[in-house]
Structure 1
Amino acid sequence: MILEIAHLDVKPALTAEFEVAFGQAQAIIASMPGYISHELQRCLERPQHYALLVRWQTLEDHTKGFRSSAQYQQWKALLHHFYDPFPTVEHYAHIAP
């Protein structure tokens, strides 16, 4: 299993709209091959900052499967205009419980 962590900085005036749009967009990612689960967390100290955690079966399920899909274009259209700056995305492999 691979854990994708995306650090999302949303334009401060648009956080409520972002959360509504994410509510729609999450069905897109959940339908992708290799998807396991996801969660969106909002930072308490910086309320315009979010962490998106997505669990994938393999790295390629995210980097090739999702990102090269037609569904990713829908994801982008729903969410990418909220970000400033563009998100940082990293992938992690489980080491210990």
Structure 2
Amino acid sequence: ILHDWDDASCVRILQNCRAQLAKGGRIAVIDLLVGEVGQPGLAPLMDMNMLGMTGGRERQNAEFDALFTAAGLRRVKTTSAGAFVVIETQPTT
């Protein structure tokens, strides 16, 4: 879902998810992860597609971390799942 949206909308989505978490709960984000410029793969192609079709985009780890921080979350684990990654977050407080 996050790749469909601009940064401000992503923060709002994550804040709403955070508000509904039970104590000790986590949020999992499953998405493509953009690597370094020029790194081949599906993510750069999907990045162009998302920009053209929805105004969203694929993101790098640092960009996800900025969204999580703005939403009061922090990344605790990233797991590879084929072409995708599963990013686990939890509230900072």
Please give the TM-score of this superposition, normalised by the length of structure 2: 0.36
Please give the TM-score of this superposition, normalised by the length of structure 1: 0.35
Larger relative contact order, structure 1 or 2 (CA cutoff 8 Å, min sep 6): 1
Q: Which has the higher strand share?
A: 1
